[in-house]
């Protein structure tokens, strides 16, 4: 119960980017939920509150489920187009994903945004190496890079989550310093993504091979291959 109360206070006062990461409030909210449920189940004085609390949680989750369904409904067609290029990536290849904001896909929270881990799903499907997955690059999760990946390169790969005008130069640098070259680049951008996205697309068009784009009209997902890789 003490843990639940402390986590609840931290959820209220801690900034969302607290403790050196993002989404801190959501993580402490989970601590409140898990510790609170255990306390309510195990403490004798709270047994009378089990049924009212269960009804409250069910009603809260029902509202949350509605919002989640709306987000999934809007993102599903985009993910289908995204996955359409997955069969073009051969087994064992290395890839990075560079994602700009899309007009077609409003930015949702990380729990509802289907585009957050689509590249990781593609990598798992083709047994590829997803170099830009933020969970690996951030070094805050159990799966991490080997020591052969330099710390500065890890940070550069993490920067692909928030691309900028220097992303093209970063990509060129990584091709020279990573233990193995980047075979494929997945660019997620549309006509509303801004001049940085246009600049990067022009660079990729000139330095790599365009393998696939989806959909054919006004594509917002493009797959590029390193020269000599098909």
Is 33 found in the same domain as 128?
Answer: no
Q: Are 105 and 115 in contact (CB under 8 A)?
A: yes
Is 219 found in the same domain as 186?
Answer: yes
Low-confidence ranges of the chain (pLDDT < 50): none
Is 30 found in the same domain as 16?
Answer: yes
Tell me, what's the pLDDT at 111?
56
Given 56, 74, 92, the domain boundary residue is: 74
Establish if 169 belongs to a structural domain: yes
Establish if 230 belongs to a structural domain: no
Q: What is the pTM of this model?
A: 0.73
Tell me, what's the pLDDT at 121?
87
Residue identified by tokens 């917002």 is 220
Given 74, 99, 126, the domain boundary residue is: 74
Beta bridge mates, 97: 186
Q: Which CATH number do you get for residue 164?
A: 3.40.50
Q: Widest CA span of the chain, in angstroms? A: 69
Domain that holds residue 107: 75-225
Rounded Cα–Cα distance for residues 127 and 123 (Å): 6
Exposure string of 64-73, with b = 16+ CB inside 10 Å and e = fewer, is eeeeeeebee
Tell me, what's the pLDDT at 20?
62
Is 40 found in the same domain as 143?
Answer: no
Q: Which long-range contacts (CB under 8 A, 24 or more apart) does 167-170 make?
A: 167/98, 167/196, 167/200, 168/199, 168/200, 168/203
Q: How many CB atoms lie within 10 A of CB 92?
A: 10
């Amino acid at each position: 119960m003490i843990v639940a109360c402390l986590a609840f206070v931290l959820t209220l006062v801690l900034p969302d980017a607290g403790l050196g990461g993002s989404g801190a409030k959501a993580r402490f909210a989970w601590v409140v939920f898990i510790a609170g449920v255990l306390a309510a189940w195990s403490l004798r004085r709270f047994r009378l509150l089990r049924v009212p609390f269960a009804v409250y949680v069910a009603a809260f989750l029902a509202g949350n489920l509605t919002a989640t369904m709306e987000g999934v409904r809007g993102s599903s067609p985009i993910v289908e187009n995204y996955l359409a290029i997955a069969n073009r990536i051969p087994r064992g290849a290395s890839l990075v994903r560079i994602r700009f904001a899309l007009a077609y896909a409003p930015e949702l929270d990380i729990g509802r945004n289907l585009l957050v881990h689509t590249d990781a799903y593609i990598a798992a499907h083709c047994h590829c190496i997803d170099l830009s997955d933020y969970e690996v690059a951030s070094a805050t999760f159990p799966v991490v890079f080997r020591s052969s990946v330099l710390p500065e390169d890890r940070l550069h790969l993490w920067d692909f989550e928030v691309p900028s005008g220097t992303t093209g130069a970063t990509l060129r640098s990584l091709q020279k310093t990573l233990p193995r070259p980047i075979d494929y680049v997945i660019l997620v951008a549309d006509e509303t993504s801004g001049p940085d996205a246009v600049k990067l697309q022009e660079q990729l068009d000139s330095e790599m091979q365009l393998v696939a784009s989806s959909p054919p009209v006004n594509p917002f997902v493009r797959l590029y291959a390193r020269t000599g890789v098909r």
